[in-house]
Structure 1
């Protein structure tokens, strides 16, 4: 290698590693996709190494690409910190933040909260990834994410976002047509809607394992939103957190506080990205949202 790579080429490398596609990278950098391809080709030629495996599904980092990734990320953090210090950008939040959150939590809770944040920071943009699984922060699919299981390896900032409880709900139409539920044992006579068991994004999603019996699952789905809709139409009972249940009376709680499964959401970001102010602004929004709205996660017990 006769010359050192340009930072701008490394920036293209980072964005392509995170998005996995030329189109996604071109959108985030506001350039043509051909420009992205050209920059990556030039960087590979300079380094004398293939950084990406190309396929119809997108771009995946090779072993050499993975080796380059932490060095490029360190340069990104240094450049951003220098820009903040020299331009006073610490008082102006700008850039794109990619946030990965569970699907129904993101659509019903996070998306509305982001509106006010983005109105307050016109130079900030958010890519909200609503996923039926948890964001892969190791390959930089997202800058920060809400998940059940924090990474066990790597350098991350991790905090508990909120504990939440999964209560039993049923549609009034379903409950009217089936045996009454007065005690826990009565649940054994009923149908349930649940996650697809061999597609669980986390073992923590096996809430029904705490029922004490094997439930009769009428329908399983990878989407909690779809589960709620099926249950609201009377297909069966469902375990769901308060924030996921439509506030329209189509689902009502069963057995009140006599049974629930409890879990905790964690908020996670790679340490180097957490240093970026635009990431911390979104991080703080989520923490504030959870702190000020505990009833979204746990219903106060009636006396």
Structure 2
């Protein structure tokens, strides 16, 4: 190899590696798919290596492609950091941050948090991915994300955002028309609303298994927002963290002594974490988590913990 590859070719390589298809990469790069293919062919010829295995399903990195990937990501991070600094971002954060969060957490907590952020940083924009699953950081679906399972491989900055508890809730009308719940054993006679079990975004969401018996699931949903509405309509008991439960009396705590504890983790690719705009959102979420215990625990548990 007599010359170094062009950075723009490496950018095409990164987007194809993340999207897995020419059409997906072309959408992310806003170019024709033939342009992506031509750039990849040129890069492979220049490096003298095959970077992707082609199939009907798409493009998958070869061993040489996997070896190139971390180097290209480092170059991408350096380019982003240089552009940010030269654009004056050392004084004020600007640009777009893609933040991946669980659906209900994003809707009920994060959206309200962003109003003040925008007031303080008028040149900052957020793409909020409020999903019934967890954002995929490996393919750069998001710049940072809140999740139950932190990345175990790759170059990431990771911190435990908060320990929180899933508590039992039910609609007052449901409790008034069903057998009383005075102890955990009484729960066996009741209906539950839960996640679709073969579509769990994380094994950490199988918290009903901690009841000590197989619950009678009357309705299973792919997301927590639908579960909350179903439980509020009296379809059964559900488990949720305090931040997810509307403060309108439609759901009330049941058997407060029972809970399942989990942790949210905050993660970002190491190269993106260096960007001021990403670090700003990271610090905002950390401050939220550290200073609002009632999002995560019932008041009584907070007092006992203190």
Q: Distance in 1 between matches of 2:19 and 2:98?
A: 10
Q: Distance in 2 between matches of 1:118 and 1:38?
A: 40
Q: Is 2:102–2:131's contact at 8 Å kept on the other side of the alignment?
A: yes
Q: How does 1:1-303 map to 2 (within 5 A)?
A: 1=1, 3-19=3-19, 39-40=39-40, 42-49=42-49, 51-52=51-52, 60-84=60-84, 88-255=88-255, 257-301=256-300
| 1:176 to partner: Cα distance | 1.8
Q: Distance in 2 between matches of 1:241 and 1:31?
A: 43
Q: Distance in 2 between matches of 1:40 and 1:124?
A: 33
Q: Is 1:28–1:96's contact at 8 Å kept on the other side of the alignment?
A: no
| 1:14 to partner: Cα distance | 2.8
Q: Distance in 1 between matches of 2:24 and 2:123?
A: 19
Distance verdict in 2 for CA 1:233–1:212, change over 3 Å: same
Q: Distance in 2 between matches of 1:56 and 1:19?
A: 14
Q: Deviations over 1:224-243 (max 9, x none)?
A: 11111111111100011111
Q: Deviations over 1:53-84 (max 9, x none)?
A: 67787765444433222111111222334445
| 1:49 to partner: Cα distance | 4.8
Give me the TM-score of the superposition, normalised by structure 2.
0.85
Q: Deviations over 1:12-59 (max 9, x none)?
A: 433444455667666765667776565445444544555456778776
Q: Is 1:80–1:276's contact at 8 Å kept on the other side of the alignment?
A: yes
Q: Secondary structure at the match of 1:133?
A: coil
Give me the TM-score of the superposition, normalised by structure 1.
0.85
Q: Deviations over 1:113-142 (max 9, x none)?
A: 234324433433333222333223233332
Distance verdict in 2 for CA 1:177–1:68, change over 3 Å: same
- Aligned positions, number: 302
Q: Distance in 2 between matches of 1:147 and 1:237?
A: 24
Q: Secondary structure at the match of 2:299?
A: coil
Q: Distance in 2 between matches of 1:45 and 1:218?
A: 58
Q: Deviations over 1:170-204 (max 9, x none)?
A: 11221122111122222111000112223322222
Q: Distance in 2 between matches of 1:301 and 1:89?
A: 44
Q: Distance in 2 between matches of 1:110 and 1:129?
A: 11
Distance verdict in 2 for CA 1:26–1:279, change over 3 Å: farther
